Amino acid sequence: MNTQQYMEQLETLDIRMSSLTYTSALMGWDSMTLASKKGVDARSSVIGNMSELFFTSLINDEVKEMLDYLTEHKSELDETIAAKVRLYLKDYNEIMKIPKDEYAAYQALISKSNLAWEEAREKNDFSIFAPYLDQVLKAKKKFVKYRGYEGHPYNTLLDDYEDGLTVEAADEFFSNLKAKIVPLVKRIQAKEAPKNAFLDLTYDISKQKEYSKYMMEVLNFRMDCGCLAESAHPFTMNLSREDVRITTKFYEKDLLSSISSTIHETGHALYEQNISPDFGVSILTSGTSMGIHESQSRLYENNFGRSLPFWHKHYGRLQDLYPEQLGNISVEDFQKSLNTVKPSLIRIDADEVTYPLHVMVRYEMEKMIMSDDVNVDELPRLWNDKYEEYLGVRPETDSDGILQDVHWSEGLFGYFPSYALGSAYASQFEFYMRKDIDVDALLASGDMAPILKWLSEKIHVYGSSKIPSEIIEGATGEKFNPKYFVDYLETKYSAIYDL
């Protein structure tokens, strides 16, 4: 076999694996949006069987030989092919160490665990979810042992979502943030809180839906290449760059929730919709890491979607939908209430200043879990204690506490830190974007296209073909630097709160 033939073999593998990923993504989408709860047994059995197929398609001697050969002959490969080799080799090394049966059983478990979480959250009963979480954690820990780790066992999971991230680096990142954010929160809290009485009013849900679709459109979501649906926890699912779907959840008594989650998920979706079409059905047609993905969603949600120029353009439309509720509220007061800083219980509704503290709670708990410092039964209390310590608030129910996030039910450990990294990346991107284009003028005019163009050309188009550090350095000319985030928070909130 020569390089050409091995490259063809890689293409065949790429389409097979990406097809299996597509069906698995679709089953995930379906099970979170439409599928009957009672169908879980059949669905889990199918998911288990399909991941066995995923496993056997990747983990075999022919694939290993091909990947090894192409790795050795890397100099002969173009960038796209080299990126595919790198990614499949990473997957191969990750999975090959896990016994096939255990891998398939784990996939089936996740599907049931997710359903148990949903029920537990609905009924505010952690005990429904606990046995599943326990099994998921046992499997995760076992997998980390199979896969191996350097330093802390949590490192292996952190690296899954952000190439090269370690406990050491994350500890430093979070302790820096904490040192800056906690005093900032205190200075803000010393000031008068924005007058938010209008937020307690009732906001008709069908109008919220209309406004969510309007938001997607003005942010350049290609409406003929995706859709909006509803689910318990908002998420984005990319089937292909021409079929990227987002969900949100509507609350009659919480207008801002659907607006901000729609903008957030649209940020994710724009990334997926603007990956190079040249990649086709491929492992490259997907965002490169959770951190970079979150940088896109948070840039839209916070840096743009909570800014005054943005709302100068779009607030009128919202007032037209809700004249009774918003007719007498000025755009400045509306924007101020969008940026209300107030320590609270629910991560996805948190303001962007206290948000990293929510993430830190989860980060520290995951770290403890992975080093066997805590049992599943103790988690709700630990959660509540940490909220009290960092945020000064204590959940009264588990639904408002440990049951609020979907991630653990899906085995997504190591994922949360990427939310905070995403905010930090976003501010670095924005800083450099402002050197090239007049962001405020564009936000105020409603012309979001040049902003999307900047992001697409520097970030989106590459899909997974570059690693996060390459993306950051390529787009900004320097390494990741969290100071842009802290500066951004300082500047923005000094203005809003007149600090």
Chain residues in the site for a copy of itself (CB under 8 A): 15-16, 18-19, 22-23, 26-27, 30, 34-43, 45-46, 49-50, 53, 222, 224-227, 229, 239-243, 245, 280-281
Looking at the Cβ atoms of 45 and 127, the one nearer to a copy of itself is: 45
User: 466 with 288: CB under 8 angstroms?
Assistant: yes
- Name, in order, each residue with C-beta under 8 angstroms of 14's C-beta and a sequence gap of 6 or more: 84, 88, 281, 282, 283
Minimum distance of a copy of itself from residue 52's CB (angstroms): 8
Minimum distance of a copy of itself from residue 482's CB (angstroms): 37
3-state secondary structure of 1: coil
Minimum distance of a copy of itself from residue 229's CB (angstroms): 8
Minimum distance of a copy of itself from residue 16's CB (angstroms): 6
d(CA 141, CA 144): 5
Cα R_g (the chain), whole angstroms: 23
Looking at the Cβ atoms of 31 and 288, the one nearer to a copy of itself is: 31
Catalytic residue at 265?
yes
Q: Which residue has the tokens 């350049």?
A: 220
User: How many Cβ atoms from other residues are within 10 Å of residue 78's Cβ?
Assistant: 8
d(CA 58, CA 63): 6
3-state secondary structure of 238: strand
User: How many Cβ atoms from other residues are within 10 Å of residue 170's Cβ?
Assistant: 23
Closest C-alpha among 460, 86, 454 to residue 276? 460
Amino acid at 111: S
Looking at the Cβ atoms of 204 and 332, the one nearer to a copy of itself is: 204
Among residues 265, 294, 352, 366, which one is catalytic?
265
Looking at the Cβ atoms of 43 and 466, the one nearer to a copy of itself is: 43
User: How many Cβ atoms from other residues are within 10 Å of residue 18's Cβ?
Assistant: 18
CB half-sphere exposure, 77, CA atoms < 13 A: 22
Looking at the Cβ atoms of 249 and 313, the one nearer to a copy of itself is: 249
Instruction: List helix spans (H) across 437-467.
Output: 439-445, 449-458
User: 306 with 335: CB under 8 angstroms?
Assistant: yes
Looking at the Cβ atoms of 43 and 314, the one nearer to a copy of itself is: 43
Closest C-alpha among 484, 489, 486, 353 to residue 431? 484
Minimum distance of a copy of itself from residue 80's CB (angstroms): 17
Minimum distance of a copy of itself from residue 115's CB (angstroms): 12
Positions marked catalytic: 265
